[in-house]
Structure 1
Amino acid sequence: MTESPFADVPASNVYADVATVMKETGIMVGQQNNTIFNAGEGLTREQMASVLVRAFDLESLGGDPEVIDLNDSSDVHRENILILTEHGITQTEDQRFRPREVVNRGQMALFIDRILTNVHAE
């Protein structure tokens, strides 16, 4: 293992190889000017949107989905939230995405299943 690309993940850390792959593939680029991985922190729904869009190469369908709390999200994640919504991955009855809420493992698994079933199904 070479040097880790994140200041908070030394090369000896159990997450170092995975964090390096995430950065090299562009799936997780890091925080604070791409220098911090935050391996021990939860993933917000807006961060999850960007991770999933990058990981599965999702693109906009050209629609205009209604997400009434889109302005509560960070600028960097807004397009990816809309892309997930267009694909029906994050549909909610009240059109709220709740960008700052933390995603648990079960929710993340559900989002990945929706992508595999609805978007990447052959």
Structure 2
Amino acid sequence: MVLKAQQNGLFNGLASDLIPNGVAILQYADDTILCFEDDLRNALNIKLLLYLFEVMSGLKINFLKSEIFSVRADDETMHKYAEMFNCQIGNFPIKYLGMPVSYAGLKCSDWSFVEDKFI
């Protein structure tokens, strides 16, 4: 659904200058990361897409357990998106598949879990 919506121009993924249409979705097991350019139209279309997924599948997305992240958006924009998606604003770095993810360089302490696994 997400890729079809992206291909039909409903929203733009990230890094569209490097990858045709950009990166729109990352999934592993029961985790999903949706990526889109900072644009109200993109956000509204993704919200509609998520609603349609719920209606079509009969499944319910728990937005209260979801977070929204941004690399460059200001606080006002982030609060607007958080209200739209009914979720919390997250902070970097995050852990995805046990690995730290950040838009900026990571601190040494962010990698301490690797050492802990081997000791």
TM-score if structure 2 supplies the norm length?
0.30
Query: Which entry has the higher C-alpha Rg, 1 or 2?
Result: 2
> Could you say which structure has the greater relative contact order, defined with CA pairs below 8 angstroms and 6 or more residues apart?
1
